[in-house]
A = this chain, B = another copy of it.
Amino acid sequence: MALVTIVGSGMMGSALAFPARENGNEVRIVGTHLDREIINRCKIENKHPKFNKEFPEGIDFYQIEELESALLGTDVVICGVSSFGVTWFAEKVLPVLPENVKMLAVTKGLIDSPDGKLITYLDFWKDKLNELGKNVSLNAIGGPCTSYELVAQDQTVVAFCGENMADLKYLKEVFQTDYYHIRLSTDITGIESAVALKNAYALGIALTIGLNQRAFGLDSEIHFNSQAAVFGHAVKEMYRLLEFQNALTLDNLCVGVGDLYVTVYGGRTRMIGILLGRGLDIDEAKAELDGVTLESLVISERVARVVKLNIEKGILKKEEFPLLLHIDEILTEKKAVNIPWDSFTL
């Protein structure tokens, strides 16, 4: 039995409380400063406002001011913030983590560097920990898993990645259940890149749904030929980006492909893609989704910046990324959606 502290009470972090607690671990959930109301409600109802099911019994909830007591004696810390909280987590949480604790991040994303590299959040946090002179085992979760389906106990297969196989095996023991199946990988860059990229490409696939709604009416049947055309091409661009990351393996690719599949149906990324496909520009689409966390926009812009820089350098080829570059035009130049179908046949 382990003591698991979840920092960030968003949907994905909170969903992990289910397998963790059902396995008999002690579980604590700490909200960030943005989660104050969620934690208040959890304390009263033992239920996350976004889930339709109560938490298992015995979970303790903490406001951010109580972070240090929530971390007291903990074995595993889950980082449950979004991409927008990565720096906050580095500044506020890393300094107070117990020495040698095992951290497991659900945050999916990559950071672009000025010299055209894509680095993982684990790399970013590693640098911060080195500055602090602190040792923490950094691990992350990738693979297809939507929070509400994990809560519903839909069969789920994910990948835990980290530097150290012994720590990964320990984390697998803590979290695995008969519905939550865990692959282990020491290829952090591979898993993290694959599952970050899918947010950009899922947006690309969702564009076709909006395009069809514009062409055939909002209530028209969903068409899959165009979705599948973008899906197949998206896998090709993801393959090339994994290659660029020196992280191309069959396992990484398939984790990314599975995650791409679930993300097309996963809510927020789908919504923004559909709105853009219908003809809204990015500002109008964002306004429509006011307050929704849009990871897909962050990753699309970051990866596109790196791809464009490396095209300039002659390291990547423009004609190999027609979809990503079009997504980038839509997001950063407000160009109209006009999927480059024929470029997919080259």
Contacts and interface: CB of A to CB of B under 8 A. Distances in A.
A345 B141 CA distance: 13
Interface of A: 143-146, 149-150, 152, 154-157, 181-184, 208, 211-212, 216, 223-229, 231-233, 235-236, 239, 250-251, 253-255, 257-259, 261-262, 265-266, 339, 341-342, 344-346
A229 B157 contact: yes
A96 B228 CA distance: 37
A223 B184 CA distance: 24
Contacts of A253: 235
A339 B224 contact: no
Contact of A258 (B223, B231, B251, B341): B231
A144 B261 contact: no
A138 to B, nearest CB: 21
Contacts of A346: 183
Nearest to A240: B250
Majority SS of interface residues in chain A? helix
A44 to B, nearest CB: 27
A255 B143 CA distance: 22
Given A143-B232, A231-B257, A226 B154 contact: yes
Q: Which of A146, A181, A339 has the most B CB atoms < 10 Å from its CB?
A: A181
Which of A144, A150, A157, A212 gathers most chain B CB within 10 Å? A157
Nearest to A212: B154
Nearest to A220: B152
A191 to B, nearest CB: 12
Given A154-B223, A155-B226, A183-B345, A232 B255 contact: yes
Contacts of A254: 232-233, 235-236, 239
Contacts of A266: 224
Contact of A259 (B154, B227, B228, B255): B228
5 contacts: A144-B232, A152-B216, A156-B226, A157-B341, A181-B345
A232 B261 contact: yes
Given A181-B345, A250-B239, A225 B257 contact: no
Given A152-B216, A224-B149, A258-B228, A342 B181 contact: yes
Nearest to A222: B265
